[in-house]
Structure 1
Amino acid sequence: MTVAGTLDATRVPTTRRYLMCPPRFFAVDYVINPWMDPSQPVDADLAMAQWTELRDTYRRLGHTVEEITPRPGLPDMVFAANSGTVIDGRVLGSRFRAPQRSAEAEHFRRWFVEHGYRDLTMPTKINEAEGDFAWTGGLLLAGTGFRTDPAAHGEAQEVLGVPVVSLRLTDPRYYHLDTALFVLAEATDTAPAQIAYYPDAFSPGTRRVLARLFPDAVLGDEADASCFGLNAVSDGRNVVLPLEAVSLADRLAARGYEPVLLDISELRKAGGGPKCCTLEIRK
């Protein structure tokens, strides 16, 4: 479903390449974030249908989607954003804090190697990849507070060769940066980057940093954040976000973006949304 807005001619989509993992073994068998409740039933078929619609939406928008084979015993492997950070063809892999997810890192590392990515480094610090890293086209915004170690920010700067800005998360519901912030449009030679974020997920100092760096940001509220509205994916014009994020969608449309609303309710039971399922590969 799309929300019509007054499209700004400057909102130009760019073709993206994504890596995704089908939720063939999706389940909520343990608790590693506040959204997970193993006592609540999970419909694996519905999760697959929602994931498939997300994948097919990207393809309809003109993007390339590659898939990695899921592995039994790794129900969160569907959340591919946590598997690596790729900028200019350089790959920084992941190292998970939760032991339940630690084996995922090696499966994704093998995928990158098998697909010709030779400039690949596995981190020595806890680093949950695009869960806590957001590339603006000029800066790597890096979250910490619950999952990724602060020292991983410096490691990312050395490996990827890009400037890193550290941001502190303080609300345990928004344990990854990608649950509270996403990049709407990357910086170009003629325009700064634009982001959307939920201020209350961050420390006071981090809020001041974000306001200074992105004075024109779209600000989300509690309703937007609690439905994972900030766990969105933008190609510079089209913004894929959860069905319930109606008020955020209206604000985006008013800025010239075209919201695309999808149902991710089953995936949200494990603390995931569109971005969690989507790793961007920047060559």
Structure 2
Amino acid sequence: MDRPFFLMTDPGCFDVSYRINPWMKPEVWGAEKAAAACAASTALREALEATGAHVETVGAVKGLPDLVFPANAAVVLDGKVLLARFRHPERQGEEPHFRAAFQRLKARGLVDEIVDLPEGLFHEGAGDAIWDADRRHFWCGYGPRSSQGALPAIRRTFGREIIPLELATDRFYHLDTCFCPLAGGKVLYYPPAFTAEARANIRAHVAEADRIEASDEEAAAFCVNAVNLGSRIIMARAPGSLREKLAAAGYALTEVDLAPFILSGGAAYCMTLRLDRRSVSAAQLHAAE
């Protein structure tokens, strides 16, 4: 497929009925929030499709509300799928449903290989392993959800360099909540979410001019949890300060009201899983022929 290809999940069974991160607020959930969630998911899908992307949808499953966050289901690169293993029991029921979804995609030729994580390790997919298309490596978060010991499995599976980044707080429990590589080599991130060593690792790999730091307000609005397609960034509603930063850096925003999903600690990136990423660009493949 020669256009961006994303996996999303039907939000029909989404709710906030338990608390496994500090953002989750079951006490404020209600029927009106469920209706708003369906509208928000549709708006996100339409924003992706407006860029020319193709979106496949996984069916909803009663009792698995966080199935709407397929970024956590797997790491995908070069047609290879490394399945996640969830740390919290509340999410472990998602694993067979996502496995079945990938098996269906494989049967259609849309992915090539499905790989299991070694036993005894936790890793929550692309939420903690973000491919940097400019630098051609993975940024790998660990700590609250994903095991540090899972990082070598990512390197072995995909044969690509990994840059480890330890997360410092349960508030930013996945890397995708606080770190977003952008086309052109810039990185949008929230420094307080990382340990001092992780911040040093970011500085070592990203020039100062390419680092865009999110404020407390911008990070709390889940704007770092964004989908980037070229110069277009699709994200939750952004504070004016972030709009100005990104416009100055040459990016255009599509904002979507994702408030119902932010009540569960997720936004645009969490709600999608990109399936067409390649470790070698089309230009490089052509040059090698």
When normalised by structure 2's length, the TM-score is 0.88
- Kindly report structure 1 stretches of 4+ aligned residues shifted beyond 2 Å: none
Work out which of the residue numbers 19, 31, 54 in structure 2 matches 1:64. 54
Deviations 1:159-211 (A, max 9, x none): 121111110110221010000001211xxxxx6x3221011110111111101
Q: Comparing both structures, which one devotes a greater share of its residues to helix?
A: 2
2:79 matched to which residue of 1? 89
| Residue 233, structure 1, aligned to residue 231, structure 2 | no
In 1, Cα distance between equivalents of 2:57 and 2:240: 30
2:126 matched to which residue of 1? 130
| Residue 50, structure 1, aligned to residue 40, structure 2 | yes
1:80 matched to which residue of 2? 70
- Greater relative contact order (Cα 8 A, min sep 6): structure 1 or 2? 1
Residue pair 1:140, 1:164 contacting (<8 A) in 2 also:
yes
Deviations 1:123-157 (A, max 9, x none): 12201001111100211000011000001111111
| Residue 37, structure 1, aligned to residue 25, structure 2 | yes
In 2, Cα distance between equivalents of 1:36 and 1:266: 10
Name the amino acid aligned to 2:131: W
Residue pair 1:85, 1:91 contacting (<8 A) in 2 also:
yes
Residue 118 of structure 1 deviates from its aligned partner by 4.0
In 2, Cα distance between equivalents of 1:167 and 1:128: 14
Name the amino acid aligned to 2:231: R
In 2, Cα distance between equivalents of 1:94 and 1:29: 22
Matches within 5 A, 1:120-269: 120-124=114-118, 125-137=121-133, 138-185=136-183, 193-215=185-207, 216-269=210-263
1:108 matched to which residue of 2? 98
Name the amino acid aligned to 1:33: N
Q: Per the alignment, in what secondary structure is the counterpart of residue 110 of structure 1?
A: helix
Work out which of the residue numbers 9, 32, 36 in structure 2 matches 1:21. 9
Q: Per the alignment, in what secondary structure is the counterpart of residue 91 of structure 1?
A: strand
| Runs of 5+ consecutive residues of structure 1 not aligned to the other structure | 1-13, 186-190
Matched positions, count: 264
Residue 247 of structure 1 deviates from its aligned partner by 1.6
In 2, Cα distance between equivalents of 1:262 and 1:224: 15
In 1, Cα distance between equivalents of 2:45 and 2:172: 24
In 2, Cα distance between equivalents of 1:245 and 1:180: 16
Residue 238 of structure 1 deviates from its aligned partner by 0.5
Residue 244 of structure 1 deviates from its aligned partner by 3.1
Residue 15 of structure 1 deviates from its aligned partner by 3.7
When normalised by structure 1's length, the TM-score is 0.90
Q: 1:161 to 1:245 in 2, by over 3 A?
A: farther
In 1, Cα distance between equivalents of 2:11 and 2:239: 23
**Paired-residue identity, %:** 34
Name the amino acid aligned to 1:200: P
In 1, Cα distance between equivalents of 2:166 and 2:128: 10
In 2, Cα distance between equivalents of 1:252 and 1:129: 27
| Runs of 5+ consecutive residues of structure 2 not aligned to the other structure | 278-289
The CA RMSD over aligned residues, in Å, is: 1.3
1:6 matched to which residue of 2? none
Residue 223 of structure 1 deviates from its aligned partner by 0.9
Q: 1:74 to 1:147 in 2, by over 3 A?
A: same
In 2, Cα distance between equivalents of 1:72 and 1:85: 25
